[in-house]
Structure 1
Amino acid sequence: MEVGVSVEQTSRPGTGRDNLLARVALRFTAFTERWLPDSFGFVLVGTFVVLLLGLATGVSLIGSPDDPKATTGYGLVDAWGEGFWSLIPFTLQMTMIIIGGYAVAVSRPVARLISRLARVPSHPRTAIAFTAAISMVTAYLNWAFSLVFTAILAKETSRLVRGVDYRAIGAMAFLGLGTVWAQGLSGSAALQVASAEASPEAVQEVIAAGRGTGLIPLTDTIFLWQGLVATAVVFVVAVTLAWFLAPSPERAKTAEDLGIALKPLQVDKDETPTRRRPGDWLEHSPVFAVAIFLLGTGYLVRYFATADGNVLNALDLNTINLILILLALILHWRPARLVAAVREGTVAASGVLIQFPLYGGIFGMIAFTGLSSTIAGWLTDVSNEFFFPPLIAVYSCVLGVFVPSGGSKWVIEAPYVIDAANQLGVHQGWMVVVYDLGEASANLLQPFWMLPTLAILGLKARDIMGYTFAVFLVCFPTVLVTVTLLAQTLSP
């Protein structure tokens, strides 16, 4: 059944937010729904855009270096093939983040937490701002968990708070992915450059050219005090916007108005299947779930205790995924429940599995042909040390609309962004922060990562993108000013 409300309905005077920003946002969403392809279409087109760009700049179509270990000197076709499978470890890591985050979010203890949180706000405007704040806090911890957790919270809050606009609260449930997620503990770019296993050799080489080592620890990216300040500024601005974007009661459209039935959240339902044979005991007993949790926790304690330098530097994609799996195991209590949750969450990871190899091919054509150095030259020619951070934020945001993937897109951009930063004398870790904030902003303009949230809420992208676009119009200029000013406090 079609549950979304049409653009014409929402733009009529007296039935929606008919101010200038709302009209612009509605026209924007109508255009994107009609003309833009889905995310897989973007990566298909992007492959040939990069191929044509390489040919236009003089890169040969075919060819390979004499040294089989070389990472440059390939023709475009050979570079595409070399890069196609280069992201396999990273692909599995990102898949596990999605599945692990989903499994944690749908466990019964977390459902009880959602039920309590949904009772905190008592007014529609408060409910929308509260959901925005929770979305950003949870996205900072783990973006995949946030997509599911906050969508369920928005649904339960809408059931309990009379008159809340279902479109607005749905948009705010997604807000974490459009603001702070990449600056958080599951931010792909920062975790990738901190891990030798996740960061391609070509990226490590260009990082090492500027700092002597091929890795950038988290203390030089998301945990820089400047990075924390930038994140806090975006958080405050976004929550304030959420408060003011809430429509008046006469213009609000509840879930009931949109034809969506909201059922009470099930927090105590016994879903344990009946055991039919002795072997089923293993799947439905918590004994081994607890044992594995204790084993994993013991390892993590030792891992962080023996980590070199700051404990925060020990956080990488593998560590975060292990923490998610252990949490999911103990929260579901019985192995059978975890298996069922993982089976459901795997569907959400299908886009990563099919698209990341193609992103790897694009990365290969940029990194293994010398095209990355050419693009770095363009960036340094049109910029300087002062304007380079905002230029990259804009560039990252624009590219993010067409390549909606923080981690794989960073692999594409990293070689020439870091190279240009080295030439201009800009702090490498700050460029990761700048990339993060620009990349996250792009999610407010395209619907790829909205899909899990929309599926849970029963909405269409057009129902919420007017609100996300309005947030973008204020938050992104804030990002540009913040990254420019704070960059002046850093040295290379």
Structure 2
Amino acid sequence: MLTKVADLFSRGVRRYLPDSLVIAVLMTLFVLVIALIMNPSSPMKMFSAWGDGFWKYRAFTMQMVLVLMTGMVLAAVPFIKRGLEVVAGWAKTPRQAYVFTFLVSAVAYYINWGLAVVVGAIFAREVGKRNEKTHFPLLVAAAYAPTALYSAGLSSSIGLTVATPDHFLADMMGVIPTSETIFSLPTIVILLALAITMPIVIALMAPKENIVRYRPPHGKQEAQNESAAASAEPLTPAERLEHASWLGILMGSVGLIYVFYEIVNGKDINLDIINLAFLSAGLFFHRSLAQFARAFHEAATSISPVILQFPFYAGIIAILGSSGMGQAIIDWMTAVASKDTFLIFTYWTAGIVNILAPSGGGQWALQGPIQVPAGMQLGVNPANVAMAVAWGDAWTNLIQPFWTLPILGVVGLGIRDIMGYCILLSIWVGVVTSILMFFLY
């Protein structure tokens, strides 16, 4: 039954869902029109808000891009890639393939969602090569599905933001240590519940007919041949320096020593620490600066749609804030909330807002100043408010195509290929998380 429903969703999505850039533009126009209707006396204010907000999150965009790219570069380290290939060989049946892919990707998402993008893509690709009975689009959906768990991981945008000294809400809620957010008992319970049940749902969606097998992207073999031919030529003195292993090891060691020193001396984990740690580890394990730069270049190719589309969503966030639309959505949800239901309504609201503005940090900039004081007035712990927004942000990542772009770029599929499966998974995640949040927080 679930297979038939998943197939129906998948066929519908392939027919009617446009490209992710088209979705970003359509959302921008939709939000702008609603904002103009809500503010008929000041139309230019809405256009100004969009233009001013378009580049508002330049620094945050750079942090997010580095989270993705440093994670992808680290996953491209040869011994990590070989390890993934070995583990991929353990999956002997389609169901094992789906479950293994989800679990490996989930572990990577917990460590770093930038790392997870390429780990999940590489693992899905290797499993797809070895198991011809596996439906490759569902395999990629299984690799992407743990994005619903990232808010409980070590690279949680909101969890790390509120743990950063002098964050923009520090005067209101203080600095919240990660022990009260991503490492709290309720967060861990929800994380485990989803990690156990989601792969079961994925396995039950597996089609029995019309299996789409893995096909390598065009041009990949040619690029590998050109690289091999180039490496056979004698190196100049300058090129020998570029390929010297000691430079990468030395520079990587400097960064890792700094990260270790800061953590040992009580500095909490934040985005800057995460980025420096993975950048330094990438340098250390790639060793050759030429190899590191090549991996960074390949990561940039997959990340380019994120760089292109992030400003559009920043503009949407600015319109939501300036027009009063974002506050209207949040107020509408929280007006009927009590102390016991506030976090669930916050979670649902965050899920809705995330569809329009898919950025944990950007969304927190919009929702945090409204949700935190409202929750504190009801006696709700601000750390729990932050996690409710974080869980909502991660929940609808499953149906917001923005963050699928890097992984789809690696595996050579389109958003239409996996979104039908992601919609069903998002329904499951929403139900499970809502129930657990009510009883645990």
2:141 counterpart of 1:182: no
Q: In percent, how many aligned pairs have the same letter? A: 26
2:132 counterpart of 1:173: no
Structure 1 residues 21 and 36: alpha-carbon distance in aligned structure 2, compared to 1, 3 A threshold: farther
Q: Calculate the aligned-residue CA RMSD, in Å.
A: 3.3
Asked if 1 retains the 8 angstrom alpha-carbon contact of 2:98 and 2:203, the reply is yes
Shift of 1:292: 1.1
Structure 1 residues 447 and 79: alpha-carbon distance in aligned structure 2, compared to 1, 3 A threshold: closer
Q: Distance in 2 between matches of 1:315 and 1:300?
A: 10
Q: Distance in 1 between matches of 2:420 and 2:161?
A: 33
2:393 counterpart of 1:439: yes
Trace 1:11-410 onto structure 2 (pairs within 5 A).
19-33=4-18, 37-43=22-28, 45-47=30-32, 49-50=34-35, 52-53=37-38, 55=39, 83=53, 85-177=55-147, 179-196=148-165, 199=167, 201=168, 203-205=169-171, 208=172, 211=173, 213=174, 215-248=175-208, 251=209, 253-255=211-213, 272=231, 274=233, 276-307=235-266, 314-363=268-317, 377-410=331-364
Shift of 1:329: 1.0
Structure 1 residues 137 and 372: alpha-carbon distance in aligned structure 2, compared to 1, 3 A threshold: same
Shift of 1:112: 0.6
Question: Aligned residue pairs: how many?
Answer: 436
Give 2:164's aligned amino acid: S
The DSSP-based 3-state class of the residue aligned with 2:191 is helix
Asked if 1 retains the 8 angstrom alpha-carbon contact of 2:314 and 2:357, the reply is no
Asked if 2 retains the 8 angstrom alpha-carbon contact of 1:380 and 1:424, the reply is no
Asked if 2 retains the 8 angstrom alpha-carbon contact of 1:93 and 1:318, the reply is yes
Larger radius of gyration: 1
1:331-383: CA deviation from partner (whole Å, max 9, x where unpaired): 22200011111122223343444444455555556667888776665444222
Shift of 1:140: 1.3
1:128-180: CA deviation from partner (whole Å, max 9, x where unpaired): 11111112111111112111111111111122224122222121111112x20
Asked if 1 retains the 8 angstrom alpha-carbon contact of 2:216 and 2:412, the reply is no
- State the TM-score, normalized to the length of structure 1: 0.79
Asked if 2 retains the 8 angstrom alpha-carbon contact of 1:372 and 1:415, the reply is no
Give 1:458's aligned amino acid: G
Give 2:248's aligned amino acid: A
Q: Distance in 1 between matches of 2:250 and 2:23?
A: 43
The DSSP-based 3-state class of the residue aligned with 2:238 is helix
Shift of 1:413: 2.0
1:160-202: CA deviation from partner (whole Å, max 9, x where unpaired): 224122222121111112x2012211111211222246x4x3x
Give 2:150's aligned amino acid: W
Deviates more, 1:406-415 or 1:351-360: 351-360
Structure 1 residues 315 and 43: alpha-carbon distance in aligned structure 2, compared to 1, 3 A threshold: farther
The structure with more helix, counted as a fraction of residues = 2
Shift of 1:235: 0.8
Asked if 2 retains the 8 angstrom alpha-carbon contact of 1:356 and 1:408, the reply is no
- State the TM-score, normalized to the length of structure 2: 0.87
Q: What is the match of residue 10 of structure 1?
A: none
Which 5+ residue runs of structure 1 have no aligned equivalent? 1-15, 63-74, 309-313, 488-492
Q: Distance in 2 between matches of 1:374 and 1:446?
A: 21
Give 1:39's aligned amino acid: A
Asked if 1 retains the 8 angstrom alpha-carbon contact of 2:245 and 2:287, the reply is yes
Shift of 1:247: 3.0
